[in-house]
Structure 1
Amino acid sequence: MIFPRYSKDPRTEQSLRHSVRDGVAYSVMAGAGETYFSAYALFLKATTAQISWLAAFPSLLGSFAQLFSAWLASHTGRRKAIILTGVVLQTLMWLPIVWLPYFFPEHAVTVLIVCVALYFAGGHLATPVWNSLMGDLVPERRRGRFFARRGRLMSITTFIALAAAGLMLHFGKTGDHTRLAFTLVFSLAALARMYSAIQLARMHDPKPVPRPLDLPPLTVWWTGLRASPFARFTLFLAIMNFTVAIASPFFTVFMLRDLQFSYLQYMTSLAFAVLLQFTTLGLWGRLGDIFGNRMVMLVTGGIIPVFPVLWLVSTNFWYVLILQSLGGVCWAGFSLSSSNYLYDVAAPERRAVFSAVHNVLSNAAIFGGALLGGFLSLVVPEHVSLFGHEMTWTSSLWGVLAVSTLARAAAALTFLPRLREVREVRRTTAAGLMLRVARFNALTVLIFDTMAFTRRRLRSSGSA
């Protein structure tokens, strides 16, 4: 595995390598498992409203899990124990998810929603403390590069796992063995999470002094919005997640039900997005380190709002692939820069608490957005009369996609200009950053990364 050194401390360096292996294993679980939850629900005959609850309820339960995680960390300081508890819970929840079509066929969708909610609760239990731990382990000046490299490995692993699972489902459906195919795919996801837990258990915890969970009153948050980079950023991302969640749970429904994609086409469309994330994460990490995460968010966050409504332009499969590819590029930059920006604005001793508050608000927003999207999918008609002309859309979900686009645009225009860079970085413009992205050649970057790693290994071997 090509991965350079990031710390002079052997224990820290080894922990970072275990973190990379954990990330790769997690990506197998996410690519082969989480990605197909909605497709699994549709296979179990879920309605559009149930799909919205499948997205909403886990977010709500995850919010409480994150607060509980921060409370535990502040009182015990045992970060690894909390992380492992959440990961083990995730692993165990795969058992009922795999077997529910065999034992609970009449209530399969309801049981799936509950199991998926508990599954994500385990992940959310680990998230704030994991963020705190990684913030202490990764050197600040190399944070963007480390998470970009780790993210690229995770993206390519997700791509492979997603593709393999999609092929299994495709051939399973062809042979009328879809249920068996889902069983095999989700069993692989469970085994991957078990390996992930082993790698997390081997990581070193510097054990910072725990701080009490003292959340400020709402009035303090409101009056401090203009002065606090963390408060402004948290409010922005919560609202952005709300607007994204209006449409995001229903893209699977749109492709499999409305566009009548096969599992192979569905997998291919997702794989294109993941592949473009993989090839551009390194670029976004470098740009974030050099020009600041705020500038990357400004560029990518300004483009993301237009994607939902573009799905209504054409039902052509190749058009969808182009759309997914562009979305993968933008979401790679936005996700990486927003997660790194949280490290920038949160003090090290407060990261677990700040991460919990940040994620609780975001998850609550996702809950509200998914429910709103489900409501819109039920009440917005597929046919609209405008000035005597009958307009027929490709999907009854057109209202969901249109509202999500307008809401995303409003959130981006309102909050992105108000974010401030908190690190000393080189100055550039949004146009200048976009020009650098346009000149990007993914293959060249991979070659130079490999050559640089080889030179470092040769130098270290020569000095030994």
Structure 2
Amino acid sequence: MRINQLRDRSVRIRHTITRFTRGGAWAAVLSASQQRNLTLFFYDGLFSAASDKIILTYLTIYLLSLGITRQQIGFLSSISSFSNALLLLPAAFLVERSGRRKEITTTSAIISRLMVFLMALLPFFLLGTSALVWIMLALVIIREAANNFAYPGWIALIGDIVPIEGRGRYFGSRNFIMGLAGMLVTLLMGEFITRIGEPLGYQVAFLVATLLAVFAIFFFNRIEDPLAVEKVDRQPDDAVSASFLDNLLSIFSSFKKHNQFLRFIIFVAVWNFTIQISGPFFTVHMAETLHFTAAMIGVVAVTNTAANMLVQRQFGLLADKWGDRTVSIVLAFLIPLVPLIWGLWVRVYWHAIAVEILSGLLWGGFNLVHFNSLLTQTPEDQRARFSAYYQIIVTLSMALGAAFGSFLIPVIEFVGVTLASTIGRLIAAVIFLVLVKETSTLEQTSPD
């Protein structure tokens, strides 16, 4: 009797977990292959988030420990963004021509993770040399470039995997588990780095990030592309060149046909420019000015992630009920408080924790609804191309913002760049309110 009860309880637990990986009961009406894709994408997100959180949290202070300067960090962000922008359109055109969205995304992800692996190994051989600094900077740039080359194929694939009627709930569940995974590895790695010391602690952390990424790639590679192309006829090189030129010329007409998308990316450009005025310097400020250890910086990051997790499902439900635009407007006007508080108030450890709780609550909701907005702002049959347009604007505006911030920080210091970022974010919020309207997924249009 007791064995049967345990078996029944085990079945119920498995059923609950499986339903959670699909975003809730709404997915029960989907086909078996659709449900399987949602589950695989869920686990891909879990391991990707754990890997990426290690890199995003500790990369800057890892580079600082190897002798890279504050200004080099700022210019690195700028150069990475410019180089990324150059690859997005070729990646989108390759996706459109080949149809191999998953394969392109997976290959790019492998290259990106290989760069992380090399970042972990190089100090064993080149520590203390000037060559190490420049090679590490190059690896960071290549990693970012590979991530961005994957983006058009990834966004096009995800738009077909996750049905629009359940995106808020699904990404709420997925983002929650991603936040939990990121929080746990950040705490563990921060404590580990502090105990082991630098740079060895960072090297081991990046090796762990590489291993987690292997699991993420394994799950993502098992996803079935709904539009998979079994065989793609290879065209002559002159036809490829002509098609590429035609695609470039069609950019302007694409914008003319999709005026709402154009208004959306105007907001995106201003928003990301102003964010990056101060964005690269928060971790630097904690390490160099406030003298936080790696463990302390890890805890600050975890508080942000924990707050982020608390609101994912709630904002997902609100977005499905009220619309992405309404939620975005409220959050866009509140987010400028974050750099303002950082610049004017944060002086000790608990200050940083408090403001990052606020930041996590606000950004957790905004990132969710903003991603949903991107999926609805792009025409279904040209999602790879339009996501490339979007990401080009993001990377170029971030590059200009980081370069502008790097120019400003020696003159007006950290407080000055946070105030500049605050004002810019408020301007961007007004632009969103005026220009961006609620929309459903755009109808398909034939490419020009």
Q: Report the TM range for the smaller structure's normalisation.
A: 0.7 to 0.9
Letter paired with 2:204: L
CA distance in 2, matches of 1:239, 1:265: 32
Q: Name the residue aligned to 1:192.
A: 212
Contact 2:66 2:199 in 1 (8 A): no
Does residue 206 in structure 1 map to residue 226 in structure 2?
yes
Shift of 1:404: 1.0
Does residue 274 in structure 1 map to residue 305 in structure 2?
yes
Q: Name the residue aligned to 2:174.
A: 150
CA distance in 1, matches of 2:222, 2:253: 40
Q: Name the residue aligned to 2:266.
A: 235
CA distance in 1, matches of 2:254, 2:40: 37
Aligned counterparts, 1:133-172, within 5 A: 133-172=157-196
1:118 to 105, 120, 142: 142
Number of residue pairs aligned between Structure 1 and Structure 2: 403
Q: Name the residue aligned to 2:392.
A: 360
Q: Name the residue aligned to 1:286.
A: 317
CA distance in 2, matches of 1:276, 1:405: 21
Q: Name the residue aligned to 1:260.
A: 291
Distance 1:410 1:8, change over 3 A: closer
1:246 partner SS: helix
Does residue 296 in structure 1 map to residue 327 in structure 2?
yes
Q: Name the residue aligned to 1:96.
A: 118
CA distance in 2, matches of 1:70, 1:222: 16
Q: Percent identity?
A: 28
Letter paired with 2:400: G
Shift of 1:22: 0.7
What whole-Å deviation, never above 9, does each CA across 1:310-340 have from its counterpart, x for those lacking one?
Answer: 1122302222211100011111111111110
Q: Name the residue aligned to 1:71.
A: 93
Contact 1:292 1:423 in 2 (8 A): no
What whole-Å deviation, never above 9, does each CA across 1:26-47 have from its counterpart, x for those lacking one?
Answer: 0111122232110111111221
Letter paired with 1:398: V
Q: Name the residue aligned to 1:451.
A: none
Distance 1:247 1:31, change over 3 A: same
Contact 1:172 1:181 in 2 (8 A): yes
Once superposed, which parts of structure 1, at least 4 consecutive aligned residues long, lie more than 4 Å away? 208-213, 215-224
Distance 1:76 1:143, change over 3 A: same
Normalising by structure 1, we get a TM-score of: 0.83
Shift of 1:130: 1.1
CA distance in 2, matches of 1:292, 1:249: 32
Bigger proportion of residues as helix: 2
2:418 to 401, 409, 427: 401
Q: Name the residue aligned to 2:12.
A: none
2:409 to 377, 384, 389: 377
Q: Name the residue aligned to 1:183.
A: 203
Q: Name the residue aligned to 1:131.
A: 155
Does residue 322 in structure 1 map to residue 351 in structure 2?
no
CA distance in 1, matches of 2:337, 2:178: 27
CA distance in 2, matches of 1:314, 1:95: 35
Shift of 1:221: 7.4
CA distance in 1, matches of 2:361, 2:102: 33
Q: Name the residue aligned to 1:249.
A: 280
Q: Name the residue aligned to 1:340.
A: 372
Distance 1:223 1:69, change over 3 A: closer
